[in-house]
Each structure stands twice: as structure tokens, then as C-alpha cells.
Amino acid sequence: MRTWSEAPISRHQVEMISPCLDERIGRHAGVRFLDALLAQVDWSDWEQAYPASGPGRPPHHPRLMCAAILYGLVRGMHSTRMLEYATEYNMDFQWLLDGRVIDHSTFAKFRTVHGERIKDLFKTINRKAADLKKLSLEEIIIDGTRIRADSDRHGSRTAQALQKRLDALDEKLAKALEELEKAQEEGEEETARKNERVKAALEAQKQRDEKAMEVAKARDEVKKAKEGKKAHGVRVPVTDPDAHLLENKEGGYAPNYTPVIAVEGELGLIVAEQITEQNSESDCLVPLVEKTEELCGHAPDRVLADEGFGAGYELEELGEKGVAVFTPMGKVSRDESRPVPSAGGVLPPEHWEALPLRGGRLDKSAFRYDAGEDVYVCPMGQILRPLRKQTRKNGTGKTVELMEYSGAPCGDCPLASRCLSKTAKARTISRDQHEVRREEVRERMATEEGQEIYSHRAPWVEGAFGTIKAGMKIRRFQRRGLQKVRQDWTWICLAFNLRKMMGWKDENTQKMMKYCIQSCIQRLRWALSRFLSMQNQWLTKVSA
């Protein structure tokens, strides 16, 4: 005979003395930490966005709205309808909001109205975390990822295809307008209303296509500047033209955004974030360092990033700031025992296999640059002298001045098969104004200390993206347009930091609660002193 557990209380049982909400939430629950932390924030700027009290229901305080949205993101609830459900049925949300039930449209409107203020809150919370844990912010790790845009993956079009569709829409609009005028003349109100709806839908579609075509033409110009007249037209997602059609991490292509973060190297908190505008991660390196500098008052000592962030102009600017960059400078096959070729010397055959290669050819790092003579020396002693100056545009469209170096024909060289292309008679090497910074990074990365420092990169930053995507279930943005996506990414990064902070030891939670209590006591004292002052003024006025 089987026995089953008994219900401690029937769902229909009326409780005479039921526990309060506070008793149902654990003493060290993360939601308590979140509530205590946000209680220390000055919300006066947020409060100014609301009108003075008047008729109708009073609004919810912005602290409560932020708390619900951020706690929802921590718990993997990024839909406003999921938040509405949680405020009504989840005990922790009921405790956080003191039993308030908030509609999904209220959450959506709040994010729109206070879209830019979330950046200041992100900085405020980061400063509190840095003070609480005494973070030095000497090392930051930067990397990017891809997150799906809220756009149809099959709805991308080129400018040429969009022009054809716009021509067809003009014909449909003309026909719809003609039918609408005819129905209005004949007094057919129902048909007129139907034609009015059709006309409005066509106009909305035309407006979306026109915006997408404008973006497509701009991206075509950028691509032609890099690839020339043979460049194919860029496909643009019509639903969200600010997104880019990119390869997914899991395979296939879809409209995506490229978020980038800077993680500090002690606790793994996100100290700066950004969404790239032109899908170029290298443009984010300096802005993220500047945001970190704004947070802590000084530039970090070193920055760790992957190969995509090694643009010359970025390295130059960070070098001037005194920031040491650790990043691979291109994929080359390399042997630790590779000898450095000497000026005028010939490398013995037994060392040829150790020379670094890139794409099957000798990498530029196999050649030694003599700054005094302004020449390159190849492993076989051949001198490559300045040939001509050129001006080119790099992958981000920035102008770069470079010098090309070349030597005498060397087809008989025993290393020619590894050094020259099939049609070249002599090796040519280019050097731009940022090559000195690249050489500094190469030398830094070649040391054991450099490799040890760079090994810190993957665990922190890849772990952050893993938590955001798997733990917080953020794999697709909920809103459209670059501005709104940037705001949502700031919400997500702030929620990630709060999730980290919630996992800190109990003594930190208690410390934060202590700060909250002290802050509340100070505010109560101020309010009481203000009340007594006003009361004395009133009594003085009455007695007079």
C-alpha cells in the first residue's frame, strides 16, 4: 500500500493569522540586497520626469519600477508581460513591490520615458560596487558578441530590391486612393473604411521600405569605398534597418547587433558597455577605456582584448594614455624557438621551419625593421628599401598613410616559395604610422608574462556572455532601433552586475543593509527636522 504526503493546508482553508510577505522571503535572499542597494540611489532626477500630483491614479515610484525590471532580468524575465505576471503571482516580486501589480504597458512606457537615465544608474551602481569591494580597476577585458535583433531573418533586401518594391507600392497606393475616393463619392461608408485601412497599411509599409533603402544605400557606399565597383549590394533587415545581417554563433545568418563589454579583472563586473554602430568592434576599444576612466577617475593599466580590437589608431591613442594593450596581432604559425634575423646576416637552413607564416607566406614579423636606416631586412639578408608612399582606407573607412618597402628581384632565393606570391618577383612590405605600436604589442605578447596576463581574458569575459545568454536567457533584443537596443543593453549589463553582487558573501549583504538603514535614518532625521521647522514657522505666524 502506498502513502502520499499530506498537504500542510488546503487551498480553500481560511488563515486567521497568516505570515506577512517579509516572513516568506529568506533573510539572505538576493532580492533583499537589490532593494537595499537601490534604496541608496538618489532618484530626484527620475522623479522630475513625472508631472505634479493631479487627478487619476498616482504613478509608481521609479525605484520600484527599476527594481522590478532589473530583478526580472536577473531571473531571466525580459518580457514586459512576463514581468506583469511575476508582479501578480511571484512572492519575491510581491515583496519587492509591496504587493503592487504593474501592467505590462506601464513597464514598456517606463523604459521608453527613462531610456537615457539608465546609463546614469549603471554608473552609480558600479561606483557603489567599486567602493564596497575596493576595486582598483587596473585591468579590464574587452570583447564582443552577437545577439539577435527583433527582425525577420528572411526579410532582408538590397537597395535594388527595395526600389522595385517601392515602385509596386506606389502603384498599389494610387489604386487604393482611387478606390477610396470612389467609395466616398458613392457613400459606401464600410467600403471606404476598409480602403482607408488598406491605404494606411500601404503607407506604413512604404515608410519602412524607404528607411531601409536609405540605410542600404549608405552601407553600399561604405562597401564600395572598401571593395571597389565590384562590391555587391548590402542586404538590410527591413523590420529593423539598424541591425546587420551577420553570421550567427550557432550557424546560419540573421539580423544581429554586436554588443561589446569591458569587464574588470577582479570580480568580473561589467564596467562599460556599447553597441557597435557599423559592426566594427575595433572602434569600441578607446570609448570603453574612456568610460572606465570616467568611472574610476583614471585609465586602467592594461587592456586585454582579442584580435578584432587591434586597430592601429586605437593602439596609438591608448599608447599615448599609457595603457598597455594585450591582444594577438594576427594569426601566424609561430615557434617559440624562432630566431630573430640579424641585419645583413643569413639565416641557416635549420631555422627556416621556425619562421612565422601567415596565409602560407612569411609573415612581416619574420623581417626586421631597422629604424635608423628605415629599411627592412629579410631572413636571407636582403634589404627592402622605401619604394613609394600610399594612402588607403582601412576596414572601418579611416584613412591610413603607409610606406611600401621592396628590394631587388629574389626569385632564386631558397625561401621564395614561402615568401613570394605566384606573380611577384620581389617581396613588398607595407608599414603605416601605427606600426610602432603594433610592434610593442607583439613584443609584449611574446613574453611569458604577457601570455600569463592574457590568459585572464577568456574566463572573465566569455563567462559574462555565457551568464547573459544562458543564465539570464538574453538571446534576442525585445525592441527595435539602435537607440532602444543600446538602452536595453545597458539594462542587461546592470542586471548582470546585480546578479553578481547578489551572490556575494552574507557579510557584504549585511553591510549593504546596514548602509541602507543608516541612509533611511538620515533621511528620516532630515524629514523630521524639516517638519519641526515648518511647524515652528506656522506657530510663530499664528501667534503673531
Residues 37 and 107 in one domain: yes
Residue 346 belongs to some domain of the structure: no
Q: What is the DSSP string of 336-374?
A: TTPPPPPTT----GGGGGGS-EETTEE-GGGSEEETTTT
> What's the CA dihedral at 403, 409, 415, 421 to 10 degrees?
70
Residues 126 and 215 in one domain: no
Q: What angle do CA 201, 204, 205 make, to 5 degrees?
A: 85
How is residue 255 written as a grid cell? 539580423
Residues 121 and 29 in one domain: yes
Residue 250 belongs to some domain of the structure: no
Long-range contacts of 432-435 (CB under 8 A, 24+ apart): 432/312, 432/400, 432/401, 432/402, 432/403, 433/312, 433/316, 433/400, 433/401, 433/402, 434/312, 434/313, 434/315, 434/316, 434/400, 435/312, 435/369
Q: Which of the pair, 401 or 213, is modelled with greater confidence?
A: 213
Its pTM stands at 0.83
Residues 48 and 121 in one domain: yes
Domain count, the chain: 2
Specify burial of residue 132 (Cβ count, 10 A radius: 0-12, 13-18, 19+).
middle
Residues 93 and 58 in one domain: yes
Residue 460 belongs to some domain of the structure: no
Residue 307 belongs to some domain of the structure: no
Residues 108 and 182 in one domain: no
State pLDDT tens for residues 204-245: 998 999 899 999 998 888 888 777 777 888 899 999 999 998
The answer for 185, left when phi > 0, alpha when psi is -120 to 50, beta otherwise, is alpha
Q: Which of the pair, 62 or 329, is modelled with greater confidence?
A: 62
Helices in 302-434 by DSSP H: which ranges? 312-321, 416-419
Residues 69 and 121 in one domain: yes
Residues 49 and 122 in one domain: yes
Provide the pLDDT for residue 475. 92
Query: How many residues would you count in the chain?
Result: 544
Residue 74 belongs to some domain of the structure: yes
Mean pLDDT of 268-279: 88
Provide the pLDDT for residue 149. 93
Provide the pLDDT for residue 336. 46
Provide the pLDDT for residue 345. 66
Residue ending a domain, among 222, 238, 254, is: 238
How is residue 446 written as a grid cell? 611574446
Distance from C-alpha of 376 to C-alpha of 405, rounded to nearest angstrom = 7
Residue 284 belongs to some domain of the structure: no
Residue 261 · residue 252 · CB < 8 Å: no
Residues 105 and 192 in one domain: no
Mean pLDDT of 21-32: 86
State pLDDT tens for residues 148-205: 999 988 888 998 999 999 999 888 888 888 888 888 888 788 888 888 888 888 889 9
Residue 363 belongs to some domain of the structure: no
State pLDDT tens for residues 428-472: 888 888 888 888 888 898 888 999 999 989 889 999 999 999 999
Residues 30 and 122 in one domain: yes
Distance from C-alpha of 450 to C-alpha of 125, rounded to nearest angstrom = 32
Distance from C-alpha of 345 to C-alpha of 403, rounded to nearest angstrom = 24
Distance from C-alpha of 122 to C-alpha of 263, rounded to nearest angstrom = 14
Residue ending a domain, among 238, 269, 300, is: 238
Residue ending a domain, among 205, 238, 271, is: 238
Residues 191 and 128 in one domain: no
Provide the pLDDT for residue 337. 46
Mean pLDDT of 47-67: 87
Q: Which of 53-57, 258-262, 414-418, 505-509: highest mean pLDDT?
A: 258-262
| Range(s) of the domain holding residue 107 | 21-134+480-531
Distance from C-alpha of 512 to C-alpha of 501, rounded to nearest angstrom = 11
The yes-or-no verdict on residue 15 having pLDDT over 80 is no
Strand runs labelled E in 50-150: 139-144, 147-148
Residue 417 belongs to some domain of the structure: no
Provide the pLDDT for residue 61. 93
Q: In whole numbers, what is the pLDDT of the chain averaged over residues?
A: 85
Residues 51 and 111 in one domain: yes
Q: How confident is the model at residue 343 (pLDDT cuts 50, 70, 90)?
A: very low
State pLDDT tens for residues 99-149: 999 999 999 999 999 989 999 999 999 998 888 888 888 899 999 999 999
Question: Which phi and psi (to 5°) does residue 86 adopt?
Answer: -65, -40
The yes-or-no verdict on residue 515 having pLDDT over 60 is no
- The amino acid occupying position 168 is A
Residue 118's closest CA among 518, 498, 527, 440? 498
| Residue that has been written with the C-alpha cell 515648518 in this structure | 534
